[in-house]
């Protein structure tokens, strides 16, 4: 069984999106995408001026957005009539399909806001499907815990604990892992999958080969393999995210991701002439 080693370490860039929300972007810059993953943003601040503008109404087509709140609250509203509030620990997994217009606005005017948004590509056969949501309330989050680690399972399975996202075309794995100092996380991954670790805090060592220190907010692209070993150099918290590549052409136009330039132009036209939402 092939051991998994680090392929690339990426320092996120500081940028902003929405109405000036400050964030760190790692996928969506370099690498531009990591099939099937199109973008990964970490947003977080204790300064309300960094997030108070939120993400006013904007469209999406052809992607899935996975928003995971670690701290704070967001109010969500969309063109299907759906609305709700995300609180600390909650997950919103949105399949935008043929098109949705939504907003995500802070439901707080002070305090710490911290979370992640991941964009996942959709295969051509699903890009024009009906929008769909999966809401995961923190109180129903599946958790594996022992004396060495704590794993919140959003998608995938660790030992006998399985997350709520099932039957998905990329067979995703999405774990939030807290690992104690000098303890290990061992996991067998499908060799078909592309996988990355996003270190939130602490310091970790991955695999057997020597590599530069991995500390703080860092994206770690992993080489393909099956046997993953991560050691906590200090108490650490990180995301493990993995999925089966789609392997189709990608055409991007802002919030739209399709297979051809013509489909992007059609999305823009639909949005401009009011026929975007089916």
Residue 204 has pLDDT above 90, yes or no: yes
pLDDT mean over 58-70: 95
Residue 18 has pLDDT above 80, yes or no: no
263 vs 246: CA distance, rounded Å? 18
Residues 140-175 pLDDT 10s: 899 999 999 999 999 999 999 999 998 999 999 999
Residues 216-264 pLDDT 10s: 889 999 999 999 999 999 999 999 999 999 999 999 998 999 999 999 9
Q: What is the CATH number of domain 6-273?
A: 2.60.120.10
Q: Which of 104, 116, 92 lies closest to 23 in space, CA to CA?
A: 116
DSSP 270: H
Residues 27-63 pLDDT 10s: 998 778 999 999 999 998 788 777 878 788 889 999 9
pLDDT mean over 180-197: 97
Residues 124-135 pLDDT 10s: 999 999 998 889
Of residues 210 and 244, the one with the higher pLDDT is 244
pLDDT mean over 87-96: 94
Q: What stretches of 156-266 adopt beta strand conformation (E)?
A: 157-158, 161-162, 173-179, 184-188, 194-201, 203-206, 214-215, 218-222, 227-232, 236-243, 251-253, 256-258
pLDDT band at 19 (very low <50, low <70, confident <90, very high): low
Would you list the domain boundaries of the chain?
A: 6-273
Task: Output the pLDDT for position 46.
Answer: 81
């Amino acid at each position: 069984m092939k051991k998994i080693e680090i392929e690339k370490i990426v320092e996120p860039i500081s940028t902003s999106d929405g109405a000036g929300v400050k964030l760190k972007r790692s996928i969506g810059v370099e690498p531009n995408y990591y099939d099937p993953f199109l973008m990964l943003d970490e947003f977080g601040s204790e300064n309300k001026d960094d997030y108070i503008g939120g993400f006013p109404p904007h469209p999406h087509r052809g992607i899935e957005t996975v928003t995971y709140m670690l701290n704070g609250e967001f109010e969500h509203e969309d063109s299907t009539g759906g609305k709700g509030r995300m609180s600390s620990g909650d997950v919103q997994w949105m399949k935008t399909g043929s098109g949705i217009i939504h907003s995500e606005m802070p439901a707080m005017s002070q305090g710490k806001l911290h979370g992640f948004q991941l964009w996942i590509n959709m295969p051509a056969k699903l890009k024009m499907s009906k929008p769909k949501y999966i809401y995961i309330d923190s109180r129903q989050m599946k958790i594996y815990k022992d004396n060495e680690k704590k794993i919140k399972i959003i998608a995938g399975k660790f030992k006998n604990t399985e997350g709520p996202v099932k039957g998905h075309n990329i067979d995703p794995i999405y774990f939030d892992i807290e690992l104690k100092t000098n303890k290990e996380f061992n996991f067998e991954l499908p060799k078909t999958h592309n996988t990355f670790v996003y270190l939130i805090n602490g310091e970790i060592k991955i695999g057997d080969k020597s590599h530069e220190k991995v500390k703080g907010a860092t994206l770690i692209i992993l080489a393909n393999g099956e046997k993953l070993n991560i050691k906590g150099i200090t108490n650490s918290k990180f995301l493990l995210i993995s999925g089966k590549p789609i392997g189709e052409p990608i055409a991007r136009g802002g919030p739209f991701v399709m297979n051809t330039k013509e489909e992007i132009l059609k999305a823009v036209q639909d949005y401009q002439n009011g026929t975007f939402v089916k």
